[in-house]
A = this chain, B = another copy of it.
Amino acid sequence: MKWDALEEEPCSLARTVAVIGDRWSLLILRECFLRIRRFDEFQASLGITRHLLADRLKKLVRFGVLRRVPYQESPKRYEYILTQKGLDLYPIIMSIVHWGNIHMVDSRGRPMLHEHKNCGKMFDPVMVCSECGEPLTAKAVHVHPGPGARQSSPVHAKAQERAKRGAEST
């Protein structure tokens, strides 16, 4: 499968993966949320090759996640700023960080703590239902095809059936 094909898939996950689903894009976005904005800063803090950095920044700009903004004339220099679309990636970044905090820390503990300015406390992110406010788990969610769906795949139907008959899990 080509990257471009991902964008066309009738699946919001696949389309998002087309934007941020590679090793470097997520790390670049982490730096953006840590207020890194300039080419050489990204390069220095990530150790990414300049070649790939240029490529990924272009891609993120093309998708409207970053904006390339001039910060000086002569010589003209640009920095890369998160757009609203980019800022909206924050829940993704935070849930990735949180999973790492729970499942990937070593004996020394978390590399980073997060303080919520509103309440002044160190927090963890919690994902809740927009309708009832309860925390969400995979098992409490049922999926339906939406208006943008393509006819449901036979393999999924078969798996659903088997899962219903079978005992436990996922």
Q: Does A70 contact B (CB under 8 A)?
A: no
A153: chain B residues at CB < 8 Å are 45
Grouping DSSP codes into helix (H, G, I), strand (E, B) and loop, the A interface class, with mixed when no group exceeds half, is mixed
Question: Chain A 126-139 against B: per-residue CB contact (8 Å), 1 yes, 0 no?
Answer: 11111110101111
Give Cα A129 to B82, complex, Å. 22
A102: chain B residues at CB < 8 Å are 88
Asked if A148 contacts B35 (CB within 8 A), the reply is no
A87 CB to nearest B CB, Å? 5
Q: Does A163 contact B (CB under 8 A)?
A: yes
A3: chain B residues at CB < 8 Å are 23
| Cβ-neighbour of A97 out of B13, B113, B156, B160 (below 8 A) | B13
A41 CB to nearest B CB, Å? 5
If A27-B13, A147-B109, A159-B37 touch, whether A130 touches B125 (CB-CB below 8 Å) is yes
Interface size on A, as a range, is 35 or more
A67 CB to nearest B CB, Å? 9
Q: Could you give 19 example pairs across A and B, Cβ below 8 Å?
A: A12-B96, A12-B110, A12-B111, A16-B104, A21-B21, A33-B138, A35-B163, A36-B159, A44-B155, A87-B138, A87-B139, A88-B102, A90-B127, A90-B138, A92-B96, A106-B148, A109-B147, A113-B143, A121-B131
Q: Name A residues whose Cβ lies closer than 8 Å to a Cβ of B.
A: 1, 3, 6-7, 10-17, 19-23, 26-27, 30, 32-38, 41, 44-48, 64, 81-82, 85, 87-106, 108-119, 121-132, 134, 136-150, 153, 155-156, 158-160, 162-163, 169-170
